[in-house]
């Protein structure tokens, strides 16, 4: 039976981690997978997370089952963190929230939810988008189509082309939008652009689906939610996938949430029953630990402040690395300008070099990045940034 299978390629991003680990060059630099790293190249456990874990270890009394929605307290806190404490969709009980195994779990559950609403649903994704969006949506047999998003030549959002493409979408089509810190381009929509998208989505009866995996790593915890909050204000129906992997540093603890906003409270209870039924059919209920940490932090003022301060430090360090990289590359006298890097947001930017140059950086300099030339900014540090700039410059000069 198993002989019917044929081998498949590994996840291209996660596979880079393996290749990097096997490289013996002491100068090696990992700009591949999007995980935050400190000056020492470590992905630390945040102190607020550590404090919450210590508290949980001392106070936890049971590990009995929870339901498909996970912890109610976590769901409440995470929806308030995203939408604000007093958002109408929370007050009007139009929102259903379920704790999920990471943002990927949220995306997959949301995809199944859409397929249950209508198996012929079309989801519009940005060109380019995060590579994992495709298998997560295709897993539910949804039809995927692209809208233009990033212009690699001009390092800018192709906003007019994006809007023209979405004008051709039909009522009931779903538009997947990155809430902030677009992965892979780092090019984020401004407020005016979000306003235009909200107008279009409502006018055409499209369903916005916001994936937000980097809240707090772009402009700020509240600032990064502009688009999600606006769409939740305006659209009668909406989906959100949120992740705590990056902003709480909980990657392997698989912590996230799916949110379904329905047109009214009655519909919301029908949506909830379907959402929970889907979850039961996939993994029954989510893992508890990561969400318990988040719930503990967000339910405690001092821990929230500590976490917010740590997150602010991470965000500011990423921005500083962006400025420093652009400066170091310019200092090498490269012809091309990299001044766009500090203008972009979050963990990623494209260097804009070709596949052969990416391979050369890996093979000759042990500098690892995704084939598309996407770099994870947090992989830089004061000890490797000059090496990266000089190596890039050497490759560019041929």
In angstroms, how far is CA 277 from the centroid of its own chain?
25
The verdict on 369 binding ligand TYF (CB under 6 A) reads no
Taking CB under 6 A as the rule, does residue 344 contact ligand TYF? no
Shortest distance in whole angstroms from residue 207 CB to ligand TYF = 23
What is the C-alpha to C-alpha distance for residues 328 and 333, in angstroms, rounded to an integer? 9
Cα dihedral 371, 376, 382, 383 sign: negative
- Of 239, 234, 244, nearest to 274 by C-alpha is 239
| By the rule CB under 6 A, 183 interacts with ligand TYF | yes
Which of these ranges, 7-15, 66-74, 112-120, 203-211, lies near ligand TYF under the rule CB under 6 A? 7-15
Is residue 362 among the annotated active site residues? no
The entry of ligand TYF, ligand PLP, none that residue 366 binds, CB within 5 to 8 Å by partner kind: none
Given the rule CB under 6 A, which of 6-14, 100-108, 147-155, 283-291 is the region that contacts ligand PLP? 100-108
Q: What is the per-residue DSSP string for 152-166?
A: TTTTEE-HHHHHHHH
Say whether residue 213 binds ligand PLP (CB under 6 A). yes
Q: What are phi and psi of 243, to 5 degrees?
A: -125, 140
Tell me how many residues contact ligand PLP (CB under 6 A).
13
Q: What secondary structure letter does DSSP report for 384? A: T
Task: Name which of ligand TYF, ligand PLP, none residue 143 binds, using a CB cut-off of 5 to 8 Å depending on partner kind.
Answer: none
Q: Per CB under 6 A, does 34 bind ligand TYF?
A: yes
- Helix or strand (DSSP H, E) at 147: strand 143-148
304 binds, among ligand PLP, ligand TYF, none (CB under 5 to 8 A by kind): none
Q: Does 17 bind ligand TYF (CB under 6 A)?
A: no
Residue 97 near residue 69, CB atoms below 8 Å: yes
Q: Does 130 bind ligand PLP (CB under 6 A)?
A: yes
> Residue 290, interface with ligand PLP (CB under 6 A)?
no
Give yes or no for residue 349 binding ligand TYF (CB under 6 A): no
List the one residue out of 75, 49, 71 whose CA is nearest residue 250. Answer: 49
Q: Are 395 and 335 in contact (CB under 8 A)?
A: no
- The single residue of 30, 173, 188, 211 carrying the catalytic annotation is 211
Are the CB atoms for 204 and 171 separated by under 8 Å? Answer: yes
- Indicate whether 381 belongs to the interface with ligand TYF (CB under 6 A): no
Which of 175, 179, 181 lies closest to 163 in space, CA to CA? Answer: 175
Interface with ligand PLP, residue 104, by CB under 6 A: yes
DSSP state of 10: P
CB atoms inside a 10 Å sphere around CB 218 = 25
214 binds ligand TYF (CB under 6 A): no
Residues that bind ligand PLP (CB under 6 A): 34, 102-104, 130, 178, 183, 211, 213, 243, 245, 251, 256
Residues that bind ligand TYF (CB under 6 A): 11, 13-14, 33-34, 130, 132, 183
Catalytic residues: 130, 211, 246
């Amino acid at each position: 039976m198993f002989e019917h299978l044929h081998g498949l390629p590994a996840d291209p991003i996660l596979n880079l981690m393996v290749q990097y680990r096997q490289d013996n060059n002491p100068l090696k630099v990992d700009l591949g997978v999007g995980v935050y790293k400190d000056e020492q190249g470590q992905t630390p456990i945040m102190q607020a997370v550590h404090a919450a874990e210590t508290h949980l270890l001392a106070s936890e009394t049971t590990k009995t089952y929870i339901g498909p929605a996970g912890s109610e307290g976590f769901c409440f806190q995470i929806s308030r963190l995203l939408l604000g404490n007093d958002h109408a969709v929370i007050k009007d009980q139009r929102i259903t929230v379920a704790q999920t195994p990471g943002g990927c779990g949220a995306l997959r559950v949301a995809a199944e939810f859409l397929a249950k609403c209508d198996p012929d649903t079309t989801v519009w994704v940005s060109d380019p988008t995060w590579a994992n969006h495709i298998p997560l949506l295709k897993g539910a047999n949804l039809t995927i189509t692209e809208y233009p998003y990033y212009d690699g030549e001009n390092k800018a959002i192709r906003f007019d082309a994006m809007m023209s493409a979405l004008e051709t979408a039909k009522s009931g089509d779903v538009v997947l939008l990155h809430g902030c810190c677009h992965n892979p381009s780092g090019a984020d929509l401004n407020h005016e652009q979000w306003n235009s998208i909200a107008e279009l989505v409502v006018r055409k009866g499209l369903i916005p689906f916001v994936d937000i995996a980097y809240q707090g790593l772009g402009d700020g915890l509240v600032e990064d939610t502009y688009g999600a909050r606006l769409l939740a204000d305006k659209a009668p129906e909406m989906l959100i996938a949120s992740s705590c992997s990056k902003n709480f540093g909980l990657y392997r603890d698989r912590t996230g949430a799916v949110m379904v906003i329905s047109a009214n409270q009655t519909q919301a209870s029908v949506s909830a029953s379907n959402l929970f039924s889907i979850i039961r059919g996939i993994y029954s209920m989510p893992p508890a630990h990561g969400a318990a940490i988040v719930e503990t932090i967000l339910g405690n003022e001092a821990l929230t402040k500590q976490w917010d301060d740590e997150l602010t430090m991470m965000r500011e360090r990423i921005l500083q690395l962006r400025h420093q990289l652009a400066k170091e590359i310019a200092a090498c006298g490269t012809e091309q300008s990299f001044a766009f890097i500090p203008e972009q947001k979050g963990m990623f930017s494209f260097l804009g070099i070709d596949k052969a140059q990416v391979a050369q950086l890996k093979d000759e300099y042990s500098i690892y990045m995704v084939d598309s030339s996407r770099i994870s900014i947090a992989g830089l540090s004061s000890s490797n940034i000059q090496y990266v700039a000089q190596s890039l410059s050497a490759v560019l000069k041929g």
